[in-house]
């Protein structure tokens, strides 16, 4: 919109106001104003600013630093004795066209007579002609005609001729232009509706519009008594008292406002960035009241049990829950729909549960629990009639393998106590209340550990699963002696069981064999030095011993060695008795 078109629109808007029987308006300013500049008209300040997102100009009208109106582009706005309209905006030069009118006071009224002259506010007026239809005046050498029932404007004078009376109004006002500073502050809103107890953060952008570095002091200039208000950095972690801005660069701050629980009504917070003053108006609404019904106030319980107190709440709004006081080592919290909660939104009626875990070593007697709901403190109590304090704990253990089979003779270490699973694959220990590390081991299995906490008088069952070693085997012989008659063949049976998780190959050897004796291992009637066995399988091996004819009767010590491919080996010490006589 160019200036000529704007004036047409402005005059059209003014035409909607009556021109007679109403006090006239005088245009006191008409021109371009840069964004950030302020026009000062008496007690009014009109600041041109810009909505950053949509790039729309608007003006804020202040009266004694209090915001009176927000003026949008194209709307004629009247406040007190001024009215204003915003026209076209040039984003390149950052200026907006503003027309400003002032409602002047009446300073003189009279019946005009030809030839009469007088001085008014520095203007020389002379009545040239006067009739019921019009008055012709000479004002400072210029002829001005005012027709009946109309108004004529001359500079800062407004002349109105009604019913034969000439009324003279004078706009004794100056419009001062306050140029914008080299920086500006921008925040998204100036008014908020909040609840008592809320904590809010408002982003404040400070931009250096100049060509040099700027250092600006920050501070809170006005806040309600008892409120906590701070200017923080963008992250919200640090309070800031001074900032440095490079040319064209912005800095984002956070205005932190903590509204007290008992606050209500309209409150104002003002902050300063250099010489710029920002203001936030807060409409504080009290938290809605919540009715609290606690039907159970004291419950009897045995130590080690859980106690619940149902609490019914009626009302609307946010509900804040907090435990204020509880006995040492007791666990207390709120539950709602099987979830632990600290706050929730109530709409109508709801129920929460105060859940109390009474430890097994609780002292006899009454124990109080204090809590608050939206700052309102309440209390309940638990009376412990039986305790297990000082009683030994009992631990039952079972040991299984990966397939669920119970294992006998598993070795169990608990603190300084060692025990084994019995023929029923179980073990039981009585222990003092404490935290224990249980270690279980058995040949052919990996060691297993578990930690368990045993409380006073508690009886717990613990099941531990052992995992087979990848390579492990067991051997069992047909005895520790073998009798051989001279001239015959002696045999000894040996069973090898693969107890590991993988198949394995086992090599067999015999140590300390007397000279000229023949010793050979057989499997399925075939001689062998090694044998492959699948996991979980057993194979029978036979040792055949043949003494020479000249062997001397007596006892001989032999050692059978079975060695796994993994390196694990086992031995059987064997006594061979040679019977007969040498001839």
Range of the domain at 484: 473-579
Given 430, 465, 500, which residue is the final one in a domain? 465
Given 255, 285, 315, which residue is the final one in a domain? 285
**Domain count across the chain:** 6
Tell whether 524 and 556 lie within a shared domain: yes
| pLDDT digits 0-9 by tens, 224-249 | 999 999 999 988 889 999 999 888 88
Tell whether 378 and 411 lie within a shared domain: no
Tell whether 555 and 493 lie within a shared domain: yes
| pLDDT digits 0-9 by tens, 171-200 | 888 888 887 667 888 888 888 888 888 899
Tell whether 365 and 422 lie within a shared domain: no
3-state SS assignment for residue 387: coil
Say what the pLDDT of residue 50 is.
79
Tell whether 98 and 112 lie within a shared domain: no
Say what the pLDDT of residue 138 is.
93
Tell whether 264 and 311 lie within a shared domain: no
Tell whether 439 and 484 lie within a shared domain: no
Residue of 576, 572, 580 lying closest to 517 (CA atoms)? 576
Tell me the pLDDT of the chain averaged across its residues: 87
Tell whether 512 and 558 lie within a shared domain: yes
Say what the pLDDT of residue 383 is.
95
Tell whether 496 and 535 lie within a shared domain: yes
Given 386, 421, 447, which residue is the final one in a domain? 386
Tell whether 154 and 245 lie within a shared domain: no
* CATH assignment at residue 371: 2.60.40.10
In whole angstroms, give the CA distance from residue 459 to residue 395.
6
3-state secondary structure string across 504-565: EEEEEEEECCCCCCEEEEEECCEEECEEEECCCCEEEEEEEEECCCCCCCEEEEEEEEEEEC
Tell whether 477 and 428 lie within a shared domain: no
Tell whether 206 and 279 lie within a shared domain: yes
pLDDT at residue 427 is higher than 50: yes
pTM listed for this prediction: 0.38
The residues pairing with 493 across neighbouring beta strands, listed in sequence order, are 542
């Amino acid at each position: 919109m160019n200036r000529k078109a704007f004036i047409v629109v402005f005059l059209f808007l003014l035409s909607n106001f009556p021109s007679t029987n109403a006090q006239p308006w005088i245009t006191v300013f008409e021109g371009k104003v840069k964004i950030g500049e302020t026009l000062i008209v008496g007690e009014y300040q009109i600041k041109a600013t810009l909505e950053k997102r949509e790039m729309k100009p608007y003006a804020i009208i202040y009266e004694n630093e209090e915001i009176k109106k927000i003026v949008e582009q194209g709307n004629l706005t009247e406040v007190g004795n001024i009215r204003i309209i915003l026209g076209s905006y040039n984003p390149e030069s950052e200026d907006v066209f503003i027309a400003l009118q002032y409602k002047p006071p009446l300073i003189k009224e009279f019946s005009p007579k030809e030839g009469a002259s007088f001085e008014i506010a520095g203007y020389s007026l002379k009545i040239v002609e006067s009739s019921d239809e019009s008055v012709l005046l000479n004002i400072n050498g210029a002829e001005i005609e005012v027709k009946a029932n109309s108004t004529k404007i001359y500079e800062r004078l407004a002349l109105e001729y009604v019913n034969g009376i000439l009324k003279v109004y004078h706009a004794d006002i100056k419009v001062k232009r306050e140029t914008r500073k080299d920086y500006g502050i921008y925040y998204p809103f100036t008014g908020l509706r909040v609840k008592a107890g809320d904590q809010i953060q408002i982003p404040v952008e400070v931009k250096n519009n100049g060509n040099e570095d700027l250092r600006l002091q920050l501070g809170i200039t006005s806040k309600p008594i008892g409120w906590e208000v701070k200017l923080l950095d963008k992250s919200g972690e640090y309070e800031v008292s001074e900032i440095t801005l490079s040319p064209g660069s912005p800095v984002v701050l956070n205005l932190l406002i903590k509204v007290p629980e008992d606050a209500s009504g309209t409150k104002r917070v003002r902050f300063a960035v250099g010489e710029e003053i920002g203001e936030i108006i807060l409409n504080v609404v009290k938290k809605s009241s919540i009715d609290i019904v606690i039907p159970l106030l004291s419950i009897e319980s045995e130590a080690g049990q859980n106690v619940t107190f149902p609490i019914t709440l009626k009302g609307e709004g946010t509900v804040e829950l907090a435990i204020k006081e509880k006995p040492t080592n007791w666990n207390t919290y709120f539950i709602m729909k099987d979830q632990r909660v600290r706050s929730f939104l109530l709409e109508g009626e709801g129920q929460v549960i105060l859940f109390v875990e009474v430890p097994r070593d609780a002292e006899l007697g009454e124990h109080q629990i204090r809590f608050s709901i939206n700052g309102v403190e309440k209390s309940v109590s638990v009376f412990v009639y039986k305790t297990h304090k000082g009683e030994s704990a009992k631990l039952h253990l079972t040991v299984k393998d990966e397939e669920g089979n119970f294992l006998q003779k598993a070795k169990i270490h608990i603190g300084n106590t060692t025990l084994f699973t019995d023929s029923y694959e179980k073990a039981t220990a009585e222990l003092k209340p404490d935290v224990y590390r249980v270690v279980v081991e058995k040949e052919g299995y990996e060691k297993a550990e578990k930690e368990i906490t045993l409380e006073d008088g508690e009886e717990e069952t613990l099941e531990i699963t052992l995992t087979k070693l990848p390579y492990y085997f067991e051997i069992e012989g047909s005895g520790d002696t073998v009798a051989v008659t001279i001239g015959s063949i002696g045999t000894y049976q040996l069973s090898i069981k693969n107890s590991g998780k993988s198949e394995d190959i086992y090599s067999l050897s015999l140590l300390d064999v007397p000279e000229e004796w023949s010793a050979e291992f057989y499997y399925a009637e075939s001689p062998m030095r090694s044998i492959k066995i699948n996991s979980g399988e057993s194979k029978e091996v036979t040792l055949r011993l043949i003494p020479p004819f000249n062997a001397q009767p007596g006892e001989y010590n032999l050692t059978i060695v079975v060695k796994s491919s993994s390196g694990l080996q086992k031995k059987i010490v064997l006594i061979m008795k040679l019977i007969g006589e040498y001839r």
